[in-house]
Structure 1
Amino acid sequence: MLSQSPFIAIAAFAASSLGVAALAVLGPAAIQGYQRHMNDEVGGQLRAQFINMPTSRLVMAAFVSAGLVLIVTLPLLPWPVAVSLGLASLAAPRLLVGFIRTRRQRTLIRQLPDALQALAASLRAGSNLGRGFELVSQRQPRPLAEEFALIIQRQRLGEDLEPILDDLHRRIPTEEIALFRSAILITRQVGGDLASILDSLGATLRERAAVEDRVQALTSMGRMQGRVMALLPVGIGAMLYLQQPALMSQLFTTLAGQALLGVIGVMTGVATLWIRRIVRIDV
């Protein structure tokens, strides 16, 4: 056994050296790839939401948050779990931008019925569609005013209305925007009373929003139960690890413990998705 100890030390040193060399080679490439992803994907989503924020700040915030997560979790958790949490925190900017996008879309859809009725009133008063868009952009709050202002700017540059509305639907891929786009384009092609159509569409969207609010209120308890059930195993496991670290560390160091963690993760994920599917009701 003593004669084997130098070989074990040499093997450990060689493995650690290879790990450091791989990190030195792959680290800069991984960082550059992450920066390109942030510039292309996250930066594009920010610009689509009229948010002027350089992606370099998001990259810096992501790395700072990853470092803080490692500093906090390394003394408390096994290093594979701490490193995994640190790497997972790099996805925080994308999740934050997705949350901002969803919230902005929800706010815009809530403002759309009032804007449609204001646009219909403007058409009845004798204004054309472009002047109606301009009035909506001036009198409606953000974020709807920003979208209509962008429509006016592109029309003044000579673009046709159809690709402008297509881009609007691409940025805000909701059924309400699709109905608004179809109402305007079909009326322009075949004719009709656009003011009455917009009035009817606004009333329909307002009734639909009321039904969605009622559904959200009725399913709020189920959604909260799903979140609690998903976080409960993690909280209990963390408390047990703080109380019995030697016993709980076997979950991360033994094959049986890792298999058990895998089964728990899969079952928790399936249960969470099941609950979300149950409480998600399309109106």
Structure 2
Amino acid sequence: MNTSFIAFAVLAFLAVVLSIEGIYLFWNSRHGPGVKRMDERLRALSAAGNASNEPLSILKKRLLSESPFVTQLLLRVPRIHVLDRQLQQSGLTWSVARFVAYTLLCALGGGVAAMLFGLPAPALVVLAVLCALLPTFVLRRRRNKRVLQLERQLPDAADLISRALRAGHSFPAALGMVGEELPKPLGGEFALVFDEINYGVSLNDALLNMVNRVPVEDLRYFVIAVLIQREAGGNLAEILGCISGIIRERMKLLGKIRVLSAEGRLSAWVLAALPFVIIAVLTVLSPDYVRVFWTDPAGMQLAGASLTLMLFGILWMRKIVRIHI
């Protein structure tokens, strides 16, 4: 066999291997696990802000977007940091700029789909608005799911801190133990509190920052109990044990109420979806029968009034079936 061909094959093989290695190293330096952990920590600090009234730093503002120009535009939007905090509370890795981009793309896709189907201008606007709300729906769903996980983990965290205190550990060390032993998402929040304390943030400010990041009322009561105990004294282990028991009893009561109200919630879902399902079926089976809603002016007014009344009915049913404890 030709020696030049063998050398060429070996060099080509080495070039391919080195190219793959270079691509992997480049991807790992930007999207690897270490970079993701660092980005989550920075986003958490950006969303939480400070417990005091100090202004946010430049680093925290840049986290709204990777582009300084887009960041300056987003900072002009009122309450933009509220959206940043909600994104962090949902556990999503989206930035504010990416969320806005997804919203605009969904609205554009809905408008293009309405144009392809030949829908009139009012229907095009309605479809574009509904599609634009899809990222918000995903955000709220992920946030509610994460909040539910945090509520379920909080009694275990309080018991773990209580046992650590009875064993002779300090409170900051107990927070570090919770961050290491408790799974995410609550374990990551306590780990972040422990890191803030190690980096020089006071315990009160670190706990208040966690309250701003985690929208759980029970956690707020937990932090208030700790802060009061630090000022007035008392047996913190016993206090945390009582808080853990109260949270568990409240969750049991909430579970019983959800079981008893399951029929009402299912009825609300059926009543809310039934008009839209019927319109969709009639559009497929008898398009001429439904076309009057989009062509006749009186039909369009009737459709608009019906959609408005259905929207109020859905909100009213949602208010009835949502029971807070």
- Give TM-score scaled by structure 1 length: 0.78
AA aligned to 2:135 is P
Q: For 2:81 and 2:302, how far apart are their aligned partners in 1? A: 39
Q: What per-residue deviation string (whole Å, max 9, x for no partner) do you get for residues 179-217 of structure 1? A: 101110110010111100100100110111111112112
**Distance of aligned partners of 1:187 and 1:77 in 2 relative to their CA distance in 1, 3 Å threshold:** farther
Correspondence for 2:93 among 52, 69, 78? 52
AA aligned to 2:274 is L
Q: For 2:301 and 2:91, how far apart are their aligned partners in 1? A: 46
* Counterpart in the other structure of 2:141: 99
Q: For 1:150 and 1:135, how far apart are their aligned partners in 2? A: 12
Q: For 2:118 and 2:283, how far apart are their aligned partners in 1? A: 8
Q: What per-residue deviation string (whole Å, max 9, x for no partner) do you get for residues 3-56 of structure 1? A: xxxxxxxxxxxxxxxxxxxxxxxxxxxxx89x847x866554334555434556
* Counterpart in the other structure of 2:314: 272
Q: Are residues 1:129 and 2:188 paired? A: no
Aligned residues: 251
* Counterpart in the other structure of 1:152: 194
Cα contact 1:69–1:82 (8 A) shared by 2:
yes
Q: What per-residue deviation string (whole Å, max 9, x for no partner) do you get for residues 93-130 of structure 1? A: 22212221111111011000011011000001111100
* Counterpart in the other structure of 2:158: 116
Q: What per-residue deviation string (whole Å, max 9, x for no partner) do you get for residues 32-81 of structure 1? A: 89x847x8665543345554345565555545544554555445462332
Paired residues for 1:195-274 under 5 Å: 195-274=237-316
* Counterpart in the other structure of 2:10: none
Cα contact 1:42–1:97 (8 A) shared by 2:
no
Q: Are residues 1:184 and 2:226 paired? A: yes
Cα contact 1:42–1:94 (8 A) shared by 2:
no
Q: For 2:145 and 2:103, how far apart are their aligned partners in 1? A: 21
Structure 2: which 5+ residue stretches go unaligned?
1-69
Q: What per-residue deviation string (whole Å, max 9, x for no partner) do you get for residues 125-176 of structure 1? A: 1111000000010100100111101111111122222222222222223320
The percentage of aligned residue pairs carrying the same residue is: 29
AA aligned to 1:193 is N
Q: Cα RMSD between the aligned structures?
A: 2.7
* Counterpart in the other structure of 1:161: 203
Cα contact 1:133–1:152 (8 A) shared by 2:
yes
Q: For 2:118 and 2:155, how far apart are their aligned partners in 1? A: 51
* Counterpart in the other structure of 2:64: none
**Distance of aligned partners of 1:275 and 1:52 in 2 relative to their CA distance in 1, 3 Å threshold:** closer
**Distance of aligned partners of 1:166 and 1:225 in 2 relative to their CA distance in 1, 3 Å threshold:** same
AA aligned to 1:91 is L
Q: For 1:232 and 1:50, how far apart are their aligned partners in 2? A: 33
Q: For 1:129 and 1:195, how far apart are their aligned partners in 2? A: 10
